[in-house]
Structure 1
Amino acid sequence: MSLITKIDQDIKQAMLGKQEVKLRGLRAIKSALLLARTEKGASEEISEETETRVLQKLVKQRKESADIYQAQNRPDLYQIEADEMEVIESYLPKQMDRSEIETYLKELIGRVGATSVKDMGKVMGTANKELAGKADGKTISEVVKQLLA
Structure 2
Amino acid sequence: MDLKERLNQDLKEAMRARDRLRADTLRLALTAIRRAEVARTDPRHPQHGQPLTEADLLALLEKEVKSREEAVALYRQGGREDLAAKEEAEIAILRQYLPRPLTREEIAAEVARIIAEVGHDFRAVMPRAAQALKGRAEGRVIQEVVRELVGRAERAG
Q: Any idea what the Cα deviations from partners look like across 1:49-77, whole Å, max 9, x if unmatched?
A: 21111111111111111122223322111
Q: Any idea what the Cα deviations from partners look like across 1:99-142, whole Å, max 9, x if unmatched?
A: 2112221222222201xxxx323212111111111111111111
Structure 2 length as normaliser, TM-score?
0.84
- For the aligned residue pairs, the C-alpha RMSD in angstroms reads 1.6
CA contact (8 A) 1:101 1:140 kept: yes
- The one-letter amino acid of 2:136's match is K
Partners in 2 of 1:86 and 1:125 — Cα distance? 30
- The one-letter amino acid of 1:101's match is I
Which position in structure 2 is the counterpart of 1:24?
A: 24
The answer to whether structure 1 residue 8 and structure 2 residue 4 are counterparts is no
Residues 87 and 127 of structure 1: CA distance in aligned 2, closer, same or farther (over 3 Å): same
Residues 60 and 3 of structure 1: CA distance in aligned 2, closer, same or farther (over 3 Å): same
CA contact (8 A) 1:37 1:43 kept: no
- The one-letter amino acid of 2:57's match is E
Structure 1 length as normaliser, TM-score?
0.88
Structure 2: unaligned runs, 5 residues or longer: 152-157
Partners in 2 of 1:25 and 1:142 — Cα distance? 32
Partners in 2 of 1:56 and 1:97 — Cα distance? 17
Report the 3-state secondary structure (helix = DSSP H, G, I; strand = E; otherwise coil) of the residue aligned with 1:67: helix
Which position in structure 2 is the counterpart of 1:108?
A: 114
Question: Larger relative CO (CA 8 A, sep 6+): 1 or 2?
Answer: 1
Structure 1: unaligned runs, 5 residues or longer: none
Partners in 2 of 1:5 and 1:43 — Cα distance? 20
How many residues are treated as equivalent by the alignment?
145
Partners in 2 of 1:122 and 1:66 — Cα distance? 36
Residues 126 and 44 of structure 1: CA distance in aligned 2, closer, same or farther (over 3 Å): closer
Partners in 2 of 1:132 and 1:81 — Cα distance? 25
Report how far residue 6 of structure 1 moved.
1.6
Instruction: Find the partner of 2:97 among 81, 91, 97.
Output: 91
Which position in structure 2 is the counterpart of 1:136?
A: 138
- The one-letter amino acid of 2:148's match is Q
Partners in 2 of 1:107 and 1:64 — Cα distance? 34
Point out the structure with max Rg over C-alpha: 2
User: Which segment is superposed worse, 35-44 or 20-29?
Assistant: 35-44
